[in-house]
Amino acid sequence: MDDMYREVILDHYKNPRNKGTLDPHDFSYEDENPLCGDKLRIDVRLDAEQRVKEVAFSGRGCAISQASASMLTEAILGKTIDEVKAMNKDDILDMLGIELGPVRLKCALLSLKVLKAGAYGLEGQHYHDED
Amino acid sequence: MATSDRTFSTAERRADFPILSRQVRPGVPLIYLDSAATSQKPQVVIEAMDRYYRLSNANVHRGIHALAEEATAMYESGREKVKQFLNAASVKEVIFTRNTTEAINLVAYSWGRANIRPGDVIVYTAMEHHSNLVPWQMLAAEKGARIVVIPITDAGELDLSTLDDILAQSPRLVCVSHASNVLGTINPVTEIAARAHEAGALVLVDGAQSVPHMPVDVQTLGADFLAFSGHKMCGPTGIGVLWGRQSLLEEMPPFMGGGDMIRRVYLTDFKPNDLPYKFEAGTPAIAEAVGLGAAVDYLTSLGMRAVQAHEHEIVAYALERLEEVPGVKVYGPPADRRGGVAAFSLENVHPHDVAQVLDRDGIAIRAGHHCAMPLHDRYNLPATSRASFYLYNVPEEVDRLIDGLYKVKKLFG
**How confident is the model over B39-97, as pLDDT tens digits?**
999 999 999 999 999 999 999 988 889 999 999 999 999 999 999 999 999 999 999 99
CB A4: neighbour CB atoms within 10 A?
Answer: 20
Closest approach of chain A CAs to the CA of B160, in angstroms? 29
Kindly list the domain boundaries of chain A, sorted by start residue: 2-121
Residue B401 falls in which region: left (phi positive, over 0), alpha (psi -120 to 50) or beta: alpha
- If one compares B50 and A125, the residue with the highest pLDDT of the two is B50
- Give me the catalytic one of B309, B371, B373, B402: B371
Chain B interface test: which of A36, A99, A103 (most B C-beta within 10 Å): A36
Task: Classify residue B130 as exposed, middle or buried by CB count within 10 Å of its CB (0-12, 13-18, 19+).
Answer: middle
| Residue range B173-207, pLDDT digits in tens | 999 999 999 999 999 999 999 999 999 999 999 99
* pLDDT at B397 (0 to 100): 97
Average pLDDT estimate for B233-241: 98
Answer yes or no: are the C-beta atoms of A87 and A112 closer than 8 Å.
yes
Residues 6+ apart with CB under 8 A from B75: B60, B284, B286, B289, B290
**CB neighbours of B309 closer than 8 A, spacing ≥ 6?**
B5, B7
- CB half-sphere exposure, A25, CA atoms < 13 A: 19
CA-to-CA dists, residue B136 to A35, A74, B105, angstroms: 22, 46, 8
Residue B3, pLDDT score: 41
Name the phi and psi angles at B103, rounded to 5: -65, -40
List the single range of B64-73, B138-147, B372-381 with lowest mean pLDDT: B372-381
- What domains lie within chain B, and their CATH numbers? 10-32+303-412 (3.90.1150.10), 47-301 (3.40.640.10)
Is the pLDDT at A102 greater than 60? The verdict is yes
Pairing state between β B173-177 and B202-206: parallel
Is B175 considered catalytic here? no
SS3 of residue B365 by DSSP: coil
pLDDT for position A51: 96
Instruction: Give the closest residue to B396 by CA, choosing from B8, B7, B14.
Output: B14
Judged by a CB distance cut-off of 8 A, whether residue A36 touches chain B is yes
What Cα–Cα distance (Å) separates residue B273 from each residue in B65, B77, B206, B254?
A: 22, 20, 26, 9
What pTM was estimated for this model as a whole?
0.93
Chain B residue numbers with beta carbons less than 8 Å from the beta carbon of A64 are 352-353
Domain A2-121 of CATH type 3.40.50.300: no
A105 CB near a chain B CB, below 8 Å?
no
Contacts of B378 in chain A (CB under 8 A): none
Distance set, CA B286 to CA B80, B97, B290 (Å): 14, 11, 6
Q: How confident is the model at residue B7 (pLDDT cuts 50, 70, 90)?
A: low
CA distance B202 to B223: 8
